Chains A and B, each alone.
Chain A
Amino acid sequence: AQSVSQHNHHVILSEAASLELGCNYSYGGTVNLFWYVQYPGQHLQLLLKYFSGDPLVKGIKGFEAEFIKSKFSFNLRKPSVQWSDTAEYFCAVGSGGYNKLIFGAGTRLAVHP
């Protein structure tokens, strides 16, 4: 069965620190990859997505992610975090005709000023 693993459940950083959140998946076929973010009190929002092409994708708010097919990974990065990046981040893998999503358990990021 497909699964998505997010390595860190809680991450605490100071402003201006660099961020990397890990995401690995298990699925042998063609996948589409997503990162969603949930800010406190808000609903899930799309941060970025990878369907095909350049494995380095850029999303909103300065986030980027790199798809490494050989490692089944899709790690999220940001060179310098801000307090407003405090949120929960979910990695999701889509497959099949309608892109059925399997989500990771999420990583809760707290950024201290």
Chain B
Amino acid sequence: EAGVAQSPRYKIIEKRQSVAFWCNPISGHATLYWYQQILGQGPKLLIQFQNNGVVDDSQLPKDRFSAERLKGVDSTLKIQPAKLEDSAVYLCASSSLSGGAYTQYFGPGTRLTVL
């Protein structure tokens, strides 16, 4: 079974530029998550989708971050404009219901550097 795919793996941009990340979840996983992991910290949830609907975006900085999952499969996360503090690894995860609860599986992440 293929895992969660993400691209690009690395991205370097200057502040005030825009950037987009792509995620393809594990086949059949209806729930998809985007996390931000700043160096030295654990991942922090930004947004969670169930199919193509948003379940939780309470920690998404909506003035600059946006995400969509139009057909309930692939998802994109966009930052516009980027700030220096957005430098982080952006992780995508998807989950399935197993044993009575959801277990999340993570992709390799996109490492963003904002100069």
Contact = CB atoms under 8 A, between A and B. Distances in A.
B50 to A, nearest CB: 7
Interface string B56-80: 1000000000000000000000000
B28 interface: no
Contacts of B101: 32, 51, 94, 99
A98 B105 contact: no
A100 B45 contact: yes
Contacts of A32: 101
Given A98-B48, A100-B48, A105-B42, A44 B91 contact: yes
Contacts of B105: 46
Contacts, number: 58
Contacts of A92: 42
A101 B102 CA distance: 10
Contact of B31 (A44, A52, A98, A106): A98
Contact of B100 (A46, A51, A103): A51
Interface residues of B, number: 26
B43 A103 contact: yes
A22 B109 CA distance: 26
Q: How large is the interface on A (under 10, 10 to 19, 20 to 34, 35 or more residues)?
A: 20 to 34
Contact of B40 (A4, A98, A100, A105): A105
A104 B91 CA distance: 16
A98 B42 contact: no
A102 B33 CA distance: 13
Given A44-B106, A99-B104, A101-B104, A90 B42 contact: yes
B103 A49 contact: yes
Contacts of A52: 100
A46 B102 CA distance: 12
Interface in B81-115: 91, 95, 99-109
The 8 closest A-B pairs by CB, nearest first: A103-B42, A99-B102, A44-B106, A43-B108, A51-B101, A32-B101, A103-B43, A105-B42
Interface of B: 3, 31, 33, 40-45, 48, 50, 55-56, 91, 95, 99-109
